[in-house]
Amino acid sequence: MKLRRICTGAPVVGMVFLSASAVADIQGSKHDLSTGIPEANGEVCVFCHTPHGSDTNASAPLWNKALPSTTYTRYSSLGTANLDGTEVAVGSVSLACLSCHDGTQAVDVVINKPGTGGYNAAGSELSTATGSNLSGTPIPNLGSDLRDDHPISIDYAGGACRGSLADCDPQTAATGDPDFSPAQYASINGQNQWWVDVASYATDAAGVNIESGTADVREKTDMLLYTRDFSGTEGPSVECASCHDPHEATARPVSFLRIANAGSGVCLACHIK
Ligand code: HEC
Ligand code: HEC
Ligand code: HEC
Ligand code: HEC
């Protein structure tokens, strides 16, 4: 699935945006780890994906890393007064992110290396050089203490949309937290999917909207919610990739955000504040 962009400007302006999105991709970004590791054969995707022999425990597609078995300290253990969403085990796509971002595993550990004979179910390093674990705690190496990070693997809107197989507005739902934006629902390919629709997500220097999504369509520039099992009921959960797209290299103001965070656009997509 490629980022879909709908350009509203004159045709010539549209062309400019299309070429801008082409150079904004993962190649050369902070998630392009191939530079400096000749064993990677210049391959960008191999650090995260493999066409064969991937880790089937991972909820991220064709995942080329063993998932961490780290015990995490959760946000809820802070005991903030207003938290009403239930946390489920750190999982889904978040665990795939944490397979590098909790710092326990070198970033160049992969299950299936480029070429023949490089398969190792437990994973092994591409480079013979040592010391390639993420450094810099608490970011970008989040470590195992997630109390200082935005909650993940957590109910959207205090569970207002759990099991609700229709678009759901927490403001009118019988239970849950009304301080959240509506969640969209669709059964896509037989799977329950929820997301928070983001209508417009980028403005030019004059504040004019230049990029927008399609309403009611699940796109990479929406805040994607991930389906988790909350005590036997499927429901939408906030995970790392709700806010982040690991392939979108545009600085907004850091790379890998789904939409620009100018004016706290990321935060205000979900929180009514
Ligand atoms: C740093 C890790 C990382 C790298 C490198 C990476 N990906 Fe991904 N990719 C992910 C994660 C994590 C997901 C799951 C995202 C989600 O569930 O929303 C994903 C999802 C995908 C998907 C399915 C969902 C989507 O967004 O379309 C495709 C296709 C994909 N990646 C292709 C690629 C290709 C091709 C490359 C190399 C050019 C690549 N990825 C490089 C981490 C990575
Ligand atoms: C994808 C939707 C989503 C986005 C985007 C989002 N949040 Fe949240 N946020 C949540 C959910 C769900 C919770 C859990 C709230 C609860 O259960 O009470 C939460 C919790 C919080 C809390 C803790 C509340 C408490 O009671 O301890 C704060 C503070 C917060 N978010 C701030 C932010 C900020 C700042 C941003 C932008 C950088 C942001 N959020 C972006 C969904 C989101
Ligand atoms: C294969 C290892 C790996 C995986 C998997 C991975 N990352 Fe990263 N990520 C990195 C490295 C390396 C950096 C660069 C760190 C630095 O600047 O020192 C980075 C940087 C980032 C940054 C900072 C970008 C900036 O502009 O400073 C964000 C945000 C990020 N990653 C989010 C994610 C998310 C979200 C996921 C899962 C969807 C993920 N990453 C999965 C290795 C990984
Ligand atoms: C609710 C939204 C949200 C969630 C969930 C979230 N992030 Fe972020 N993250 C952000 C935003 C917004 C920024 C940019 C902050 C800034 O501008 O300094 C960011 C920044 C980062 C950075 C770069 C920080 C820096 O200053 O260099 C990394 C790395 C990162 N996130 C990784 C992750 C990982 C891994 C997860 C899951 C464990 C995650 N994020 C979950 C919103 C989120």
| CB of residue 152 inside a 6 A radius of ligand 4 | yes
Give the mean pLDDT of the chain: 89
Q: How far is the CA of 31 from the centre of ligand 3 (A)?
A: 6
How far is the C-alpha of 160 from the C-alpha of 187, rounded, in Å? 18
The more confidently predicted of residues 227 and 201 is 227
The more confidently predicted of residues 204 and 258 is 258
| Probe residue for ligand 4, chosen from 150, 181, 250, 271 as the CB with the greatest number of ligand atoms within 8 Å | 150
| CB of residue 77 inside a 6 A radius of ligand 2 | no
Hunting for tokens 């889904």 — which residue is that? 92
Given this model, what pLDDT does residue 229 score? Answer: 97
| CB of residue 47 inside a 6 A radius of ligand 3 | yes
| CB of residue 140 inside a 6 A radius of ligand 4 | yes
| Residue of 245, 233, 228 whose CA lies nearest to 89 | 228
Buried b (16+ CB within 10 A) or exposed e, 227-255: ebebeeebbbbbbbbbbbbbbbbbebeeb
Q: Compute the CA torsion angle 183, 216, 63, 147 (nearest 10 deg).
A: -30
| CB of residue 223 inside a 6 A radius of ligand 2 | yes
Contacts of 69 (CB under 8 A, 6+ apart): none
pLDDT, one tens digit per residue, over 149-207 is: 999 999 999 999 999 999 999 999 999 999 999 999 999 999 999 999 998 777 777 77
* Ligand 3 atom closest to Cα of residue 136: 18
| Probe residue for ligand 3, chosen from 30, 95, 141, 259 as the CB with the greatest number of ligand atoms within 8 Å | 30
Residue 1 has pLDDT above 70, yes or no: no
Given this model, what pLDDT does residue 8 score? Answer: 39
Averaged pLDDT for residues 134-141: 96
Task: Kindly identify the ligand whose nearest atom is closest to the C-alpha of 30.
Answer: 3
Residue 262 has pLDDT above 80, yes or no: yes
Dihedral (CA of 115, 65, 223, 201) sign: negative
Averaged pLDDT for residues 216-235: 96
Given this model, what pLDDT does residue 16 score? Answer: 40
Given this model, what pLDDT does residue 257 score? Answer: 95
